[in-house]
């Protein structure tokens, strides 16, 4: 009898709790299982998580709610509605922040410009535009392979070249640490907080990798800060000091404001990740798309020859690549279909109603899928799944600029990427330098898949044969 009563009580409790969840969750994205919530569907489709997210959002009209296991705080509103994105990033910017939970999950980023809110973010934002990042090194290395991006950004930001372009292509410890940290951050989004917190306390699984990666990153960056201080102190005259101001670290140290090592470490880490991984991701997917579309490749080569036939053997400079309109369109298409940062996260401060009609309570976590937005017919039309550079070119042969809250690869509103123009210059220089001399052929049977990371890199890289053009 006791067992029967216990079973009846448990069943009644489960029924009432499930009823309560369904009342709270008015726009469920997927099936809500007892106890486990909607997490099983996500884990089952983890191997294709971005396409799965796109499919369920389309079925729900662009927005819906996700609830994780019972008694956890895995509760998100997920959207790919461009009007919702415009509302959060532009019109009601002050009401949607990164928040303390974001900073906890993204701990390796510290309090840098990517994770900061309020006055901390404003301060970091104001000091960065004065730093001329990358122009010298971009010109110097623009004619080398796409792997130069890691070397380029380490040198631009930290004044350090890891020599990753050596003939034997050595594994760079700092690169491995960055990758493991980013994969761990992605993992924290897929499990309840109590799970990764326990793993962190026990130092097992992905959290052990995160701890070791953070130690490697901190040792490396703090060593660079210390050596840069010594270098600056050794400069005796004004000309030598001027020569030293080539990288961002030197520029920040040379400002009138006194920045402590923690501030320098956080901003250097943020800017290196923002530049290194995003451009690497963009170019990798770009080259893969070009190999799948030979007509696009032919038009890119024709544009380069038509504009620079007299200087075809030389390295194209910054002003020259700005004339490559079709290449610009092809890169925009790659960014639209495979945005380097595929998911953005915000937290509401006050109650609000989104343009889609969804009610947002204070502290609600909101995820918007940039990957899904690039595949929305409402934004890009019926041919949204096609790789079509022409959509970015006007009848007059000029670049067409889409609103930032629709073409969201560089963020939008006050937090729009400061390095957008520089990123396009770097990508166009590298892409033009490689494509005009080499032809890519993807290895038979290789099907690229996105890695489980906060940056949309290819899981096993792009396996391709590179042949010199005749």
Taking the C-alpha atoms of residue 374 and residue 384, their distance in angstroms, rounded to an integer, is 7
Which residue in 144, 127, 183 sits closest to 434, CA to CA? 144
The answer for residues whose C-beta is within 8 angstroms of residue 89's C-beta and 6 or more apart is 96, 405, 411, 412, 413, 415
Tokens linked to 447 = 């099907």
Taking the C-alpha atoms of residue 332 and residue 316, their distance in angstroms, rounded to an integer, is 20
Q: Is the dihedral of CA 170, 436, 332, 387 positive or negative?
A: negative
Which residue in 360, 386, 369, 365 sits closest to 57, CA to CA? 369
Tokens linked to 104 = 């906890």
Beta bridge partners of 368: 79, 344
Query: What is residue 419's three-state secondary structure?
Result: coil
Q: Report the relative pairing of strands 464-468 and 438-442 from DSSP bridges.
A: antiparallel
CB 161 within 8 A of CB 151: yes
Binding-site residue set: 417
CB 210 within 8 A of CB 246: no
Binding-site residue set for heme: 417
Taking the C-alpha atoms of residue 59 and residue 46, their distance in angstroms, rounded to an integer, is 19
């Amino acid at each position: 009898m006791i067992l029967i009563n216990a079973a009846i009580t448990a069943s009644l409790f489960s029924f009432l709790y499930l009823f309560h969840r369904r009342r709270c969750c008015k726009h469920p994205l997927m099936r809500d299982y007892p106890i486990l919530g909607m997490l099983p569907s996500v884990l089952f489709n983890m191997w294709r998580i971005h396409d799965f997210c796109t499919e369920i959002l389309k079925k729900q009209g662009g927005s819906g709610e996700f609830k994780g296991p019972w008694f956890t705080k895995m509760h998100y509103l997920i959207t790919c509605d461009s009007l919702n994105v415009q509302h959060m990033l532009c019109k009601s910017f002050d009401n949607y922040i990164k928040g303390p939970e974001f900073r906890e999950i993204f701990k390796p980023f510290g309090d840098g410009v990517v994770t900061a809110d309020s006055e901390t973010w404003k301060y970091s934002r104001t000091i960065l535009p004065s730093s001329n990042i990358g122009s010298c090194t971009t010109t110097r290395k623009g004619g080398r392979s796409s792997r130069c991006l890691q070397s380029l950004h380490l040198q631009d930001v930290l004044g350090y070249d890891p020599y990753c372009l050596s003939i034997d292509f050595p594994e760079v410890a700092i690169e491995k640490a960055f990758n493991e940290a980013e994969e761990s951050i992605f993992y924290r989004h897929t499990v309840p907080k109590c799970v990764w917190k326990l793993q962190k306390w026990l130092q097992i699984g992905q959290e052990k990798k995160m701890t070791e990666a953070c130690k490697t990153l901190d040792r490396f960056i703090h060593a660079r800060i210390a050596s840069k201080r010594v270098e600056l102190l050794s400069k005796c005259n004004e000309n030598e000091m001027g020569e030293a101001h080539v990288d961002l670290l030197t520029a920040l140290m040379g400002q009138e404001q006194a920045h402590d090592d923690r501030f320098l470490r956080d901003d250097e880490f943020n800017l290196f990740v923002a530049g290194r991984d995003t451009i690497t991701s963009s170019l990798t997917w770009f080259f893969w798309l070009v190999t799948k579309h030979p007509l696009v490749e032919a038009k890119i080569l024709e544009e380069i020859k038509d504009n620079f036939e007299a200087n075809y053997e030389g390295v194209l400079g910054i002003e020259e690549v700005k004339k490559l309109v079709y290449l610009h369109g092809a890169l925009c298409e790659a960014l639209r279909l495979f945005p380097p940062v595929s998911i953005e996260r915000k937290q509401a401060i006050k109650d609000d109603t989104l343009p889609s009609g969804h009610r947002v309570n204070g502290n609600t976590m909101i995820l918007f899928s940039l990957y899904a937005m690039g595949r929305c017919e409402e934004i890009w039309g019926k041919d949204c799944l096609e790789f079509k550079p022409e959509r970015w070119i006007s009848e007059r042969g000029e670049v067409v600029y889409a609103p930032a809250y629709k073409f969201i690869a560089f963020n939008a509103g006050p937090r729009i990427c400061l390095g957008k123009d520089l990123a396009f210059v770097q990508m166009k220089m590298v892409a033009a330098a490689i494509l005009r001399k080499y032809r890519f052929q993807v290895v038979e049977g290789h099907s690229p898949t996105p890695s489980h990371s906060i940056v949309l890199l290819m899981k096993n890289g792009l396996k391709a044969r590179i042949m010199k053009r005749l």
